[in-house]
Amino acid sequence: MSNVPVAVVTGSNKGIGFAIVRALCKQFPGDVYLTARDPGRGQEAVAKLQEEGLRALFHQLDIDDLQSIRALRDFLKEKYGGLNVLVNNAGIAFKVHDTTPFAVQAEVTLKTNFFGTRNVCTELLPLLKPYGRVVNVSSMVSSSALGNCSRELQQKFRSDAITEDELVELMTKFVEDTKKSVHEKEGWPNTAYGVSKIGVTVLSRIQARMLNEKRKGDHILLNACCPGWVRTDMAGPHATKSPDEGAETPVYLALLPSDADGPQGQFVSNKTVRTW
């Protein structure tokens, strides 16, 4: 078994995830895994970094596929005896003018952004070594979507006592409500991406609370963040930040020094803790 520290970035064959791997290759003292659902696209990305003189390793990971997540978990357990850094970056967004019915958009978006990310956490967080760092890439859209929820939903999502099961129930209810076309009446905003990222931010708050309760002495730090508005296939060419600039906050959180006792369970953008 290797004692080398290990970092994993989900959805890192392109966009912000790729830039996060690039930065970690330069700054993380250990093995960095670029992961992708498609091995061809993943290997191509690794080769691109190699041309830049950077060494990333590859492992397949489709966060929609529990078997794929578990295969990565078993690999990490066997080869490294755990995990030091996890960046949950993989995500999807329908384009604004996409005509796919809203209920379908809601189901598909929540499946990857919330349920897929949660499944990765369920399988990989138990592997975290002391001083581990976890970064869940959310979005500022989670904050604006929260502001457009009913008072009752806002209270639930801001609660310091909400459980993971309750959050899963709420995310499931959103999808069901869109199918019945009652989501607005039930207090939801009209954005599937926004609700999925509310889920990611609230999940991060819950998970950090659980780490504080169950693994207090292990100094693990877990946060959600927004990378900013970044020029990728998701956000398009008019966004303000380059992918490398978008990677800055996630990388800052992934590399918080071992003597840091925060941020913990926060929503961070531009390296600054934001009020949730």
Which residues are known to be catalytic? 193
CB-wise, 2 or 198, nearer to ligand NAP? 198
Name the one range near ligand NAP by CB under 6 A: 56-64, 97-105, 179-187, 203-211.
56-64
Residue with Cβ nearer ligand NAP (149 or 230): 230
| Residues 6 or more apart in contact with residue 77 via CB below 8 angstroms | 127
Contact call for residue 55 and ligand NAP (CB under 6 A): no
By the rule CB under 6 A, 37 interacts with ligand NAP: yes
Q: Which residues contact 131 (CB under 8 A, 6 or more apart)?
A: 84, 218, 219, 220, 258
Among 26-34, 149-157, 229-237, 265-273, the segment contacting ligand NAP (CB under 6 A): 229-237
Taking CB under 6 A as the rule, does residue 70 contact ligand NAP?
no
- Contact flag: residue 194 with ligand NAP (CB under 6 A): no
223 and 184 in contact (C-beta within 8 Å)?
no
Strand order in the sheet with 57-60: 57-60, 31-36, 6-9, 83-88, 128-137, 221-226, 267-269, 272-274
Could you tell me the smallest distance in angstroms from the CB atom of residue 89 to ligand NAP? Answer: 5
The two three-digit tokens of residue 45, written as one number: 């990305």
* Among residues 15, 132, 199, 265, the one that binds ligand NAP under rule CB under 6 A: 15
Q: Is residue 91 at the binding interface for ligand NAP, with CB under 6 A as the rule?
A: yes
DSSP 122-185: HHHGGGEEEEEEEEEE--HHHHHHHHTS-HHHHHHHH-SS--HHHHHHHHHHHHHHHHTT-TTT
By C-beta, is 57 or 260 nearer to ligand NAP? 57
CA distances from 207 to 13, 156, 255 (A): 26, 16, 19
Tell me if 78 contacts ligand NAP by CB under 6 A.
no
Number of residues near ligand NAP (by CB under 6 A):
33
Question: Cβ 64 to ligand NAP, closest distance in Å?
Answer: 4
Judged by the rule CB under 6 A, the positions of this chain that interact with ligand NAP are 10-11, 13-17, 36-38, 41, 61-64, 89-93, 112, 116, 137, 139, 226-227, 229-230, 232-235, 239
